[in-house]
Amino acid sequence: MGESAKNSILIIDDEKMVIMALTEILSPKYTIYAVKDGLDALEKAKEFLPDLILLDIVMPEMDGHAVIAALKNTEKTKEIPVIIISSLSNIEDEKKGLALGAVDYITKPFYPDIVKLRVQNQIRLINQTRQIIKNETAVKSSHSKIDFLLRMSHEMLTPMNAIIGMTQIAKMANDPKKVKECLSEIDSASRCLLDFISELLEVSAHNVSSSELDTFIENY
């Protein structure tokens, strides 16, 4: 996903003015979701799966540290990067937030251009990582398909070669016993090839994954 495709950001802050300011700074470039409560934020994070979360620390009922811990302990949200934006400027607060899994820490009052740049850097990193994974997956899929076709060809050519070879031998043989042996080999190879093709067509008809097709070949 490129930045032009509108990455999404979830803002979590109990101060309406902060939400409005961050929305004003970021909304031209990103899709913005905003909540004022930690518990609500956890539900919205699971629902929207934003690309990035901007999180305040000092909030009623559930503070930002607890929110980070809950996000990181939830399968659906544990990989979402979190930038803390807080009025707490103590080094211990920053260390705690980063130790819990935050990727950056911005203190209030913040400078709009700094927020833009730090968010931009995180979004760029997210998109680059996704593109790398996408490329690696495409390469792996391509290799798997080539490997599958090679193995499938081998499974089909082996009995086919036996059929052709035994046919040629039978055509040149003068001994009825030899001809009968060749015909028996041809019959066996033909049935093996027919069974393989039938099972392959049945498996393919169920839209199975390439890995399942690989397993079929290995077990055949």
CATH of the domain at 27: 3.40.50.2300
Examine the domain organization and report whether 78 and 154 are in the same domain: no
Q: Which residues of 8-29 are buried (b: 16+ CB within 10 A; e: fewer)?
A: ebbbbbbeeebbebbbebbeeb
In 3-state terms, what secondary structure has residue 90? Answer: coil
How many domains does the chain contain in total? 2
pLDDT at 210 (0 to 100): 57
**For residue 83, what are the β-bridge partners?**
54, 104
| pLDDT tens, position by position, 85-114 | 999 988 998 899 999 999 999 999 999 999
Report whether pLDDT(186) > 50: yes
Range(s) of the domain holding residue 162: 140-219
Torsion over CA: 35, 41, 47, 48 (sign)? positive
- Backbone phi, psi, residue 119, to 5°: -65, -45
CA distance 23 to 54: 11
For residue 115, tell me if it sits in a domain.
no
pLDDT at 111 (0 to 100): 92
In 3-state terms, what secondary structure has residue 48? Answer: helix
The structure tokens listed for 16 are: 């309406």
